[in-house]
Homo-oligomer: A and B are copies of this chain.
Amino acid sequence: AVPLSYGLLIFPGFEVLDAAGPIELLNVLSVYMGHNEIQLSVIAATLDVVTPALRGPDVPGHRFAGKQHYLPTHTFDTAPALDVLIVPGGVGTFKPAEKIGPMVEFIRNVYNGSLGNPPLQYVFSICTGSRLFAEAGILRGHKATTNKQGWKSVTKLTDKTHWVAKARWVASGNIWTTSGVTAGMDGMVALIAQIYGDEKAEALCDMVEHSRQKDPENDPFA
C-alpha cells in the first residue's frame, strides 16, 4: 500500500536542512500535488521546544541556531502507527548513550513494529541520522551510507554492514540512508519516484527548481 503516515524525528542538535530538504519535497507532494491524504507526525522525546545544530553538550542559548524553535506534535509514547520514519543527523546524534538511548529504542521499535503496530514500510536517514540506525542495530546485513564528516565514528558502530563511501544515497531493502545534508533531497526524490512514480518526482523537482540527481553513485564529495 502507498504510505500514508510519515514521521519526522527531531532532537536537540538536529541539522536543519537534513530535515527540511525531504520535508519540503513531501510538502510539495501533499500541498500542491494532490496527495493531501498523507499525514505527518513530528516526534521527539518530549513536547518541549527543539532547537537544531547546537555544538557541545548543552548550549541552548546559542545566539543563532538556538533561536530556531520547533514544536513536536508527538512523543515516543504518543506517536501514531507510521509507514515511513525520517531521521535527520546533526551533532545531536553524537550525544552520550543515555541521551540518545530513547531515540535509538524508538527507532528499533517502530522499524520492527514491536509497539503493537506493523513494521515500517521505509526508514530514511539523512547525514549522521544513520548513526542512530547503527545504534539501533537495524543496519546488520544491509548496505548503508552516511556523511563524510562523521564517516569513521559512524561506520565503526556496526559489523556486517556494507558501508558505501561514494553514494548520494543507498537503498537497501526498506532501509534508505543518504550522505551529508543536501543528499537528503536527492535520496527523497528517488524514494518519491519509487513510491509515486517518476513523472511526479520530475514535476516536483521542477516546482522547487532542484537539479535532480538520478545516479546515486554520482557523489562529488566522496
- Tell me the A179-200 residues at the B interface (CB within 8 Å): 179-183, 185
Taking A15-B27, A31-B62 as known contacts, 4 extra A-B pairs with beta carbons closer than 8 A to each other, sorted by chain A number, are A40-B65, A67-B73, A181-B207, A183-B209
Binds B, one of A50-58, A101-109, A133-141, A158-166: A50-58
Contacts of A112 in B (CB 8 A): none
Query: Contacts A16-B20, A208-B182, A209-B180 known; A39 to B64 CB distance under 8 Å?
Result: yes
Chain A residues near B (Cβ < 8 Å): 6, 15-17, 19-21, 23-24, 26-28, 30-32, 36-42, 49, 52-55, 62-65, 67-71, 73, 147-149, 179-183, 185, 206-211, 220-221
Could you jot down 20 A-B contacts, CB within 8 Å? A16-B27, A17-B20, A19-B20, A24-B181, A30-B62, A36-B62, A36-B64, A38-B63, A38-B64, A39-B63, A40-B65, A40-B68, A69-B70, A147-B209, A149-B207, A180-B207, A180-B208, A182-B185, A182-B211, A183-B209
Copies in the complex: 2
Query: Contacts A36-B64, A63-B39, A70-B70 known; A24 to B30 CB distance under 8 Å?
Result: no
Contacts of A23 in B (CB 8 A): 16, 68
Please list the 9 inter-chain residue pairs (A to B) with the smallest Cβ-Cβ separation, ordered nearest first.
Answer: A20-B20, A17-B24, A180-B209, A39-B63, A69-B71, A30-B64, A181-B208, A27-B53, A40-B67
Nearest-CB residue, chain B, relative to A181? B208
Residue pair A69, B42 in contact (C-beta under 8 Å): yes
